[in-house]
Amino acid sequence: MTKPTVSAAGGAMPSRILSRHNLIDEATGEVNLWVLKGLARREALATYGAITPRSLRSALREHAGPIPQLQTAWRERHGCPSNTS
């Protein structure tokens, strides 16, 4: 029996959904903000032991860093022009 993707009680999301591979929506190329927020919360809790504004900012910086590279890779895969300057 597999775990459902959405918890009825509002619990944690399965780890296969919250991964860096899901930061960029494959259909549109836009950033999945809910994935970014989930990764930041998970990292803040794992690193600092609490979800405070400072720990969230630090974790968000860590996960938001590679987003431009991921978007450029998505554009190249889909044949869109990419701005590399």
**Residue at 45 is within a domain:** yes
In a 3-state reduction of DSSP, which class is residue 35? helix
Contacts of 36 (CB under 8 A, 6+ apart): 23, 60, 63, 64, 67
Domain, as residue range, for 67? 20-78
pLDDT band at 14 (very low <50, low <70, confident <90, very high): low
List of residues 6+ apart from 7 with CB closer than 8 A: 13
The structural domain count of the chain equals 1
The pLDDT confidence band at residue 17, using thresholds 50, 70 and 90, is confident
- Give the distance from CA 33 to its chain's centroid: 7
Q: Is residue 82 over pLDDT 90? A: no
Each residue's pLDDT tens digit, 18-33? 888 889 999 999 999 9
6 lies in some domain: no
Residue 85 lies in a domain: no
In contact, 42 and 31? CB cutoff 8 Å: no
pLDDT number for residue 53: 94
